């Protein structure tokens, strides 16, 4: 089966942005640019809208097919914090199959057994079963000796280590960032430097071992400075962030609204501005949703008792477009962070519009206005801190392996 997408504005992290057509044969891209329509091809007129590689969402906590389809996401890197935990090859295999046929699920296996941070998991066997990376889960590994062994083992297997960047000794029991807002609201808080402390240690261990290290979320100016300097030294380090930490500060917590209860917590305005600067200068490599749908039984509680997490898959593109406009990123630069770089981290051959690449695509209107409404979201739960926000950027079609998906 052949499909020609014509009259499109093609957005590719490698080839840039240009007007043209894209031809899909089976599940692969076979031509781009000026393309004559084969006689047997189905024709899709894009009407001048944008056609880009589908989003690869690294570090989600739930396989939420409807939310991903609505958000232009064809592939997810699934965190090991599941029930059961992804620390066994059979469990990893089942996780990899859990999205079929609508969604590619790439498991990220637990770095330690039961994510306890004590005994190393069987990384090699889990990688053979389909794990694309290993992770410390929602928490930091406190024992430096264990973390050193994790990095060494992962290096030998050429697997990236995805880690949580908060020193658990400082953040234990905390639900907010120390500062004016937390003090005024009386919330248990930890200093923002808990992030930099965790990053500094793990960078030193990664530099010594030569392992590939990815901080799933970095949210503070001090953390970005450490990563910038490490990259200059040649450390194989990358970092990610969610739109929430680019667009919101801890002032959003002021009404005790539990949809703003996140991990890591929202930071002060200076750190938010620093995050936008890090997005602009390339310090931030990956934009992710942090998709973690939580129902009313976990969110309709006092702020201290509510579970952290946000539903972010279906709003990722629109909110990333908002951040990109502020940081003055081009669309190819944006999709480098949404698609190509997360694919590269997991060793996938997607994330671009290159000839021969998988036909995982998103057709979108970058300027179409709409309003985020939590109660109408298609995700398992609408726990978004952006409820009521007007945005621009609507997904028109999500294509996986050449096949149009429907939520």
State yes or no: pLDDT of 229 exceeds 90. yes
What residues make up the domain containing 242?
Answer: 54-345+366-387
Residue 122 lies in a domain: yes
Residue 15 forms part of a structural domain: no
What pLDDT does residue 159 have? 98
Res. 1 pLDDT band, cuts 50 70 90: confident
Q: How confident is the model at residue 270 (pLDDT cuts 50, 70, 90)?
A: very high
Whether 237 is in a domain gets the answer yes
Residue 407 confidence class, pLDDT cut points 50, 70, 90: low
Rounded to whole angstroms, the Cα distance separating 106 from 102 reads: 13
Residue 28 belongs to some domain of the structure: no
Q: Is residue 43 part of a domain?
A: no
**Which positions ≥6 away from 324 have C-beta within 8 Å?**
279, 330, 331, 333, 334
The average pLDDT across 78-101 equals 97
237-241 β-sheet, strand order: 55-60, 73-78, 104-110, 133-135, 161-163, 213-215, 237-241, 286-287
pLDDT digits (tens, 9 = 90+) for 120-158: 999 999 999 999 999 999 999 999 999 999 999 999 999
pLDDT of 327 above 80: yes
- Tell whether 403 is covered by a domain: no
DSSP secondary structure of 163-180: E--S-HHHHTT--EETTH
Confidence of residue 334 (pLDDT cuts 50, 70, 90): very high
* Structural domain includes residue 354: no
Percentage of the chain beyond pLDDT 90 is 98
Higher pLDDT, 357 or 407: 357
Contact 370, 391 (CB under 8 A): yes
Q: What is the pLDDT of residue 406?
A: 77
261 within domain boundaries: yes
Q: CB within 8 A of 377, min separation 6: which ones?
A: 67, 311, 314, 384
Domain of 205: which CATH number? 3.20.20.140
Number of domains in the chain: 1
Max CA separation in the chain (angstroms): 68
Q: How many whole angstroms separate alpha carbon 34 and alpha carbon 111?
A: 47
For the stretch 46-82, pLDDT in tens is 999 999 999 999 999 999 999 999 999 999 999 999 9
State the Cα–Cα distance between residues 337 and 241, nearest whole angstrom: 10
Average pLDDT over residues 175-186: 96
Q: Give percent of the chain above pLDDT 70.
A: 100
* Residues 351/13, Cβ–Cβ less than 8 Å: yes
Asked if residue 324 lies in contact with residue 375, where contact means CB atoms within 8 angstroms, the answer is no
């Amino acid at each position: 089966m052949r499909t020609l997408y014509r009259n499109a504005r093609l957005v590719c992290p490698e080839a840039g942005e240009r007007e043209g057509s894209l031809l899909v044969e089976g599940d692969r891209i076979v031509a781009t640019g000026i393309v004559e329509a084969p006689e047997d091809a189905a024709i899709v007129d894009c009407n001048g809208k944008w056609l880009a590689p589908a989003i690869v969402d690294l570090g989600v906590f739930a396989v939420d097919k409807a939310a991903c389809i609505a958000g232009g996401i064809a592939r997810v890197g699934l965190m090991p914090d599941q029930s059961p935990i992804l620390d066994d090859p059979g469990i990893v295999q089942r996780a990899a199959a859990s999205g079929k046929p609508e969604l590619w699920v790439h498991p990220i296996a637990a770095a330690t057994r039961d994510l306890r941070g004590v005994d190393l998991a069987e990384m090699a066997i889990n990688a053979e079963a389909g794990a694309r990376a290993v992770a410390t889960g929602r928490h930091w590994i406190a024992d430096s000796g264990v973390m050193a062994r994790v990095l060494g083992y992962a290096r030998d297997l050429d697997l990236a280590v995805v880690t949580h960047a908060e020193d658990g000794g400082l953040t234990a029991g905390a639900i907010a960032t120390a500062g004016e807002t937390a003090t005024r609201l009386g919330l248990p808080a930890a200093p923002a430097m808990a992030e930099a402390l965790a990053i500094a240690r793990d960078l030193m261990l990664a530099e010594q071992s030569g392992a590939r290290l990815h901080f799933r979320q970095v949210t503070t100016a001090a953390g970005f400075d450490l990563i910038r300097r490490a990259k200059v030294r040649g450390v194989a380090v990358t970092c990610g962030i969610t739109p929430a930490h680019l667009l919101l500060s801890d002032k959003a917590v002021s009404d005790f609204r539990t949809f703003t209860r996140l991990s890591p917590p929202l930071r002060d305005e200076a750190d938010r501005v620093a995050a936008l600067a890090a997005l602009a200068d390339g310090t931030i490599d990956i934009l992710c949703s942090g998709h973690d749908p939580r129902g009313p039984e976990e969110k309709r509680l006092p702020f201290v008792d509510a579970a952290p997490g946000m539903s972010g898959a279906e709003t990722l593109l629109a909110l990333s477009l908002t951040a990109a406009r502020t940081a003055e990123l081009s669309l190819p630069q944006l999709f480098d962070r949404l698609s190509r770089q997360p694919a590269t981290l997991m060793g996938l051959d997607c994330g671009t519009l290159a000839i021969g690449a998988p036909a995982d695509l998103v057709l979108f209107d970058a300027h179409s206005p709409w309003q985020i409404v939590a109660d109408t979201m298609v995700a398992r739960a609408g726990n978004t801190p952006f409820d009521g926000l007007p945005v621009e950027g609507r997904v028109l079609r999500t294509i996986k392996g050449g096949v149009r998906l429907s939520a």
